[in-house]
Amino acid sequence: MGNLDIIIFIVYGLIIIVVGNWLARSKGGERNSSDYFFASKSLPWFLVGSSIIAANISAEQFIGMSGSGFAIGLGIATYEWIAAIILIVVAKYFLPVFIEKEIFTMPQFLALRYDNRIKTILAIFWISLFVFVNLTSILYLGALALKSIFGIKLIYGIIGLAVFSLLYTIINGLKAIASTDIIQVFFLLVGGLITTYFAVNHVGGNTGIINGFETMFTEIPDKFHMIIKKSDPNYFYLPGIRAIIGGIWIAGIYYFGANQYIIQKAFGAKSLREAQKGMVFAGYLKMILPFVVVIPGIVAFALSADIAKPDEAYPWILENIVPAGIKGLIFAALIAAIVSSFSAIINSTSTIFTMDLYKPFFNKNASEKRLVAVGRISGIVAMAIAVVVAPLLGSIDQAFQFIQEYTGMISPGVTAIFVFGMFWKRTTSTAALWGTVLSIPVSAAIKFIIPEMPFLDQMMVSFLIISLVIVVISLLDKKENKGLEISREIFRTDKTFNLLSIIIIVIFSAIYIVFW
């Protein structure tokens, strides 16, 4: 990177730190837990949507999904395009329940619907998952990019990213994160699309991106199929048509509908309608993202990139194709994706620890000032653990698949207890407890007994088994349960939401018809 690139990158960093601190502190006064964890429920739809995407898109997409684009092709974009539809489902059927019941954390919902046993078990699990899988993978992949481009040692890159996030996140909470996320998403999309432009243009001999795409369609047509054939070794990751209608829905509903660091952005919205508009806006951004995070990996394959493993595809594109002067902007986009996701997960980790573990078990009468202090301390501790563990991920070939597979060990059980808890009043606490406890053993058993089964199929089978257990135990259990009283009226959405949702579904269908 040249001097201009470095200057652009430094300016970006300063903007994020200054804006994050300034906007979060602009109203003055002592910060309380509602402000710190939920931005005082003041977020407009565009901040909700951009913040969801900023939390969702990180190094695991820029680096990991580009790596899977290199190895698998356009099919890996299934995760992004299906997510756009899942966001609509969550906005229409999950958010109204959460907001009507004044839910602020996922463990809180479990305590309301079931009991404190399930709440505590999953609160501990989520904190562990966020720290040991999500935060560590984000830091590792981000540091890998720093190493590839700047030559910075992996451990120094990991520490640097953590400290950068610390400078505006830990102090100011969700308000700072949401306030800067719209800037982060701007860098992410603009910078990412510029990278794609240069990459595809290069494939076409610098004669335009249309020629570039035509060249790739001609030379590597197998990389442009959304439905992976059974003979393809990548079938294990995307099992044909079942990649659209199977386990990916289990993972998606869990991730967007029951995942604290995603749904917390909607909880910070001004109203239900504002939150729903934010989610459909996020759906449109998801439709764009494969052009940012998947196509560069396919380009690296088309150019026979000299890399040791697929996850090096995106850094290779930056190093070898993007010209000086632009590279700083692109690299800022990559770092924007990393620190925004890292910050969101840190904030949600501290939210769950403070509100669902510390307050009920250690200090029921904690003051607002104390809760904010505990949130900050727990965020710093989570960050420190992730910094220590992150270097251990160096032996993984495709980090994106690692994240999907191991998150998938719990998502079938969690999805089942949330869906049954919301929409089947007969579901009992005992049944939900068994569903929670069995989630990892059932997923692990299927993985051990049928290792050749694609992991998305494993997730679906696990979900069906756990659902059966929940139904049987609920029918046999004669104890009273805490079924939610929900009016159908809360699921009504306005014409704008419905029209925008239909357009996403039409675009999605057209993509699969063209690239079947």
Residue 269 lies in a domain: yes
Reported confidence tier of residue 170, pLDDT bands at 50, 70, 90: low
Does the pLDDT at position 437 exceed 80?
Answer: yes
Q: How far apart are CA 77 and CA 512, in angstroms?
A: 11
Domain extent, residue 338, equals 3-15+54-400
Q: What is the pLDDT of residues 218-277, one digit of tens each?
A: 999 989 988 888 888 888 888 888 888 888 899 899 989 988 888 888 888 888 999 999
Q: What is the pLDDT of residues 355-393, one digit of tens each?
A: 889 988 888 888 878 888 888 888 889 989 999 988 887
Grouping H, G, I as helix, E, B as strand and the rest as coil, residue 11 is helix
pTM for the whole thing?
Answer: 0.87
Residue 413 lies in a domain: no
Q: How far is CA 94 from CA 86, 483, 502, in A?
A: 11, 15, 18
Q: What is the pLDDT of residues 73-93, one digit of tens each?
A: 999 999 899 999 999 999 999
334: which strand partners? none
Q: What is the pLDDT of residues 32-50, one digit of tens each?
A: 556 555 555 778 888 889 8
Q: How far apart are CA 261 and CA 106, in angstroms?
A: 10
Does the pLDDT at position 395 exceed 80?
Answer: no
Reported confidence tier of residue 164, pLDDT bands at 50, 70, 90: confident
Rg (CA), the chain: 22
Q: Which residues contact 503 (CB under 8 A, 6 or more apart)?
A: none
Residue 348 lies in a domain: yes
Residue 40 lies in a domain: no
Does the pLDDT at position 306 exceed 80?
Answer: yes
Count up the domains in the chain and report the number. Answer: 1
Q: Supply angle C-alpha 147, 148, 149, rounded to 5.
A: 95
Residue 112 lies in a domain: yes
Q: Supply angle C-alpha 428, 431, 433, rounded to 5.
A: 110
Q: How far apart are CA 265 and CA 41, in angstroms?
A: 9
Does the pLDDT at position 30 exceed 70?
Answer: no
| Residue scoring higher pLDDT (428 or 172) | 428
Residue 507 lies in a domain: no
Q: How far apart are CA 371 and CA 113, in angstroms?
A: 25
Q: What percent of the chain has pLDDT over 70?
A: 89
Reported confidence tier of residue 418, pLDDT bands at 50, 70, 90: very high
Grouping H, G, I as helix, E, B as strand and the rest as coil, residue 43 is strand
Query: DSSP secondary structure string, 77-96?
Result: GHHHHHHHHHHHHIIIIIHH
Residue 249 lies in a domain: yes
Does the pLDDT at position 176 exceed 80?
Answer: no
- The answer to whether 398 and 64 have CB atoms below 8 angstroms apart is yes
pLDDT of residue 23: 61
Q: How far apart are CA 422 and CA 405, in angstroms?
A: 26
Round the average pLDDT of the chain to a whole number and report it: 84
pLDDT of residue 454: 86
Does the pLDDT at position 399 exceed 60?
Answer: no
pLDDT of residue 33: 58
- The answer to whether 400 and 61 have CB atoms below 8 angstroms apart is yes
- The answer to whether 425 and 114 have CB atoms below 8 angstroms apart is no
Nearest CA among 54, 82, 185 for reference residue 512: 82
Q: What is the pLDDT of residues 177-187, one digit of tens each?
A: 666 777 778 87
User: Which domain CATH number covers 317?
Assistant: 1.20.1730.10
Reported confidence tier of residue 14, pLDDT bands at 50, 70, 90: confident
Residue 46 lies in a domain: no
Reported confidence tier of residue 26, pLDDT bands at 50, 70, 90: very low
